[in-house]
A and B are shown apart, each in its own frame.
Chain A
Amino acid sequence: MDKNKKMHGRGRSKGQTAAGMSGGSSGVKEWKRHGIQATWALLTNSYLLGFAQGKIYKGKLKSLCVPGLNCYSCPGALGACPIGAMQAVIGSWNFKLTFYAAGFLMFVGALIGRFVCGWLCPFGLIQDLLHKIPFSKKITAFRGDRILRKLKYLILIVFVILLPMFLVDILGQGAPYFCKLICPAGTLEGGIPLVLLNQSLRSALGWLYVWKNVLLLITIVLSIVIYRPFCKYICPLGAVYSVFNPISVFRYRVDQEKCVKCGACAHSCKMQVDPVKNPNDPECIRCGACKKVCPVKAIR
Chain B
Amino acid sequence: MSKHQDVVWKEIWKTGKGKIGLLIAAAGLAMMGFGTYRGEAAAVLEKAINICLECIGIG
Contacts and interface: CB of A to CB of B under 8 A. Distances in A.
A107 B50 CA distance: 27
A100 to B, nearest CB: 3
B1 interface: no
Contacts of B36: 100
Contacts of A248: 21
A102 B33 CA distance: 11
B52 to A, nearest CB: 5
Chain A interface secondary structure, helix, strand, loop or mixed?
helix
Contact of B24 (A77, A206, A208, A247): A247
Interface residues of A, number: 61
A249 B44 contact: no
Contact of B43 (A95, A175, A244): A95
A179 B33 CA distance: 26
B3 to A, nearest CB: 15
20 contacts: A56-B51, A62-B45, A73-B55, A80-B45, A80-B47, A84-B52, A84-B55, A85-B47, A88-B43, A89-B43, A99-B38, A101-B44, A103-B29, A105-B28, A111-B25, A179-B55, A205-B58, A206-B58, A247-B24, A249-B12
Interface of A: 56-60, 62-63, 65, 71-73, 77, 80, 84-85, 88-89, 92, 94-95, 98-111, 175-176, 179-180, 183, 186-187, 190-191, 194-195, 201, 204-206, 208-209, 211-213, 244, 246-251
